[in-house]
């Protein structure tokens, strides 16, 4: 009888341990799983009506932010490319704090190509993801020196060959420095505003950068793309903020289906 009780107690103990392990595993998964993004706002309007609304939005943005420009400090294409790579998952303000000293030490691609990984990591640590960024910056500089004679490429195909450069970064360099409107810079602000303004036709949510860019390119004139990106970013920082948008002060409210929804 004593053996049976001991065996039963041991079985219950094992069962309890397994249950606790499953609960713990579920809690860990719950913490690791990001919250799903809200689906893109789709309005009951024709493409023509959406385009007319986009035209009014563009006009209102031009009036509100006539001097909108890239917030990253730079004096040439090389500095803009470096700063844009550093800005991934980091604020422009933080990047601007470290780039003066960085550009003093590495004034061009040739100098950066010879940087030591560990030293560069220390210099850019505050921007986050510093190991990957340091690796990409050195790889980018080496590729620019080896393939493009030390000059930052002025076309999309060549830029996309460089380590650390995806379409958003390439659009920023091409539009801001070379004045080539190849596409729009879609960052977190542009995605959020495009979603709230109901300008997305094919994008799944505010993080679907490729489709967001395509949707916006169909609505706005080519010559406005680069300026529009910077204007939306500025508007997202100053007015249409992530948590508490100031809809009562927003010049786009008349054409924004989300206006007042955050009160």
Fold entry, domain 47-69+184-255: Endonuclease Iii, domain 2 (1.10.1670)
CA distance 261 to 12: 52
Catalytic sites, residue numbers: 168, 187
Question: What is the pLDDT at residue 11?
Answer: 54
Residue ranges, comma separated, of all CATH 1.10.1670.10 domains in the chain are 47-69+184-255
What does pTM read for this prediction? 0.83
SS3 of residue 205 by DSSP: strand
Are 204 and 211 in contact by the 8 Å Cβ rule? The answer is: yes
**Dihedral sign (CA 13, 16, 18, 20):** negative
Q: DSSP secondary structure string, 13-29?
A: HHHHHHHHHHHHHHHHH
Residue ranges, comma separated, of all CATH 1.10.340.30 domains in the chain are 77-176
Question: What is the pLDDT at residue 39?
Answer: 74
Q: What is the pLDDT of residues 110-157, one digit of tens each?
A: 999 999 999 999 999 999 999 999 999 999 999 999 999 999 999 999
CA distance 239 to 259: 12
Neighbours of 196 (CB within 10 A): 23
Q: What is the pLDDT of residues 43-80, one digit of tens each?
A: 889 999 999 999 999 999 999 999 999 999 999 999 99
For 77-176, CATH number out of 3.40.50.300, 3.40.50.150, 1.10.340.30, 1.20.120.1200 equals 1.10.340.30
Higher pLDDT, 99 or 263: 99
């Amino acid at each position: 009888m004593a053996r049976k009780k001991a065996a039963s107690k041991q079985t219950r103990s094992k069962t309890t341990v397994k249950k606790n392990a499953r609960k713990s595993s579920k809690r860990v998964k719950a913490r690791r799983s990001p919250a799903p993004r809200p689906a893109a706002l789709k309005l009951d309007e024709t493409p023509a009506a959406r385009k007319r609304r986009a035209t009014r939005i563009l006009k209102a943005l031009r009036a509100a932010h006539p001097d909108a420009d890239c917030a990253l400090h730079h004096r040439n294409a090389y500095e803009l490319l470096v700063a844009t790579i550093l800005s991934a998952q980091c604020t422009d303000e933080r990047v601007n704090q470290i780039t003066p000293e960085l550009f003093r030490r590495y004034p061009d691609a040739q100098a950066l190509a010879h940087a030591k990984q560990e030293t560069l990591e220390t210099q850019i640590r505050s921007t986050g993801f510093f190991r990957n960024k340091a690796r990409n910056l050195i790889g980018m500089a080496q590729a620019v020196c080896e393939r493009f004679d030390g000059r930052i490429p002025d076309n999309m195909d060549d830029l996309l060959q460089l380590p650390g450069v995806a379409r958003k970064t390439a659009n920023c360099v091409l539009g801001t420095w070379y004045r080539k409107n190849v596409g729009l810079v879609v960052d977190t602000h542009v995605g959020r505003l495009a979603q709230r303004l109901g300008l997305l036709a094919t994008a799944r949510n505010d993080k679907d950068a490729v489709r967001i860019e395509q949707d916006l390119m169909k609505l706005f004139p080519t010559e406005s793309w680069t300026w529009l990106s910077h204007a939306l970013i500025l508007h997202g920082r100053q007015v249409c903020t992530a948590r508490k948008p100031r809809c009562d002060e927003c010049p786009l409210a008349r054409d924004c289906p989300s206006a007042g929804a955050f009160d």
